[in-house]
Amino acid sequence: MLAASILAYTHALNIWWVLIIAIAGAVVGDNFWFFVGRTGGRKFLDKYGKFFFLTKKRVDKAELYFGKHGRKTIFFSRFIFGTRMGGAALAGTFGMKCKRFLLSNITSAVSWVFVTAFIGYFFGSSFHDLVKIFHRTELALLILAGSALIIVIIRFIVTQQDP
């Protein structure tokens, strides 16, 4: 998305076509994962959930969570790298209504595309400077993300044990 919007800045692409195609792709892609979750997600969790520390109790809690906060989850997962497809699949798995998902998905796709595209488009002239800054901070971000993942895994292992 950023690359396409930077190309639009250089006039190699038309920004409006970038927006239209990106929104369509985002909506179609997440609907695909929603229906993957809807058709086979629960069977997958029942069979393989134990390998991901997902007990029946945790799956039931997640289902309640999606019942209450599904719209917000779909919206915000769009902006968190690596969670977009998972959020859509889980929404399907936990029985989020199709119409509710579609509206949340379209709203989040339009928001995400406009934010991301216009960041790339308006900062296109600073692209080389942004790359330099990113290279300086990428190791720190990698360490931070790895540390967060380790904390989450440890927390799951500790809470998995019965007293």
Residue 163 in this model has a pLDDT that exceeds 60: no
Other Cβ atoms within 10 Å of 131 Cβ, number: 10
Residues 6+ apart with CB under 8 A from 26: 78, 105, 109, 112, 113
Average pLDDT, the chain: 85
Q: How many Å apart are CA 129 and CA 154, to the nearest integer? A: 38
pTM over 0.95: no
Residue 162 in this model has a pLDDT that exceeds 60: no
Domain boundaries, the chain: 2-122, 126-163
Per-residue pLDDT tens for 29-46?
A: 999 999 999 999 888 888
Per-residue pLDDT tens for 65-122?
A: 888 888 888 888 888 877 778 889 989 998 888 999 999 999 999 999 998 888 888 8
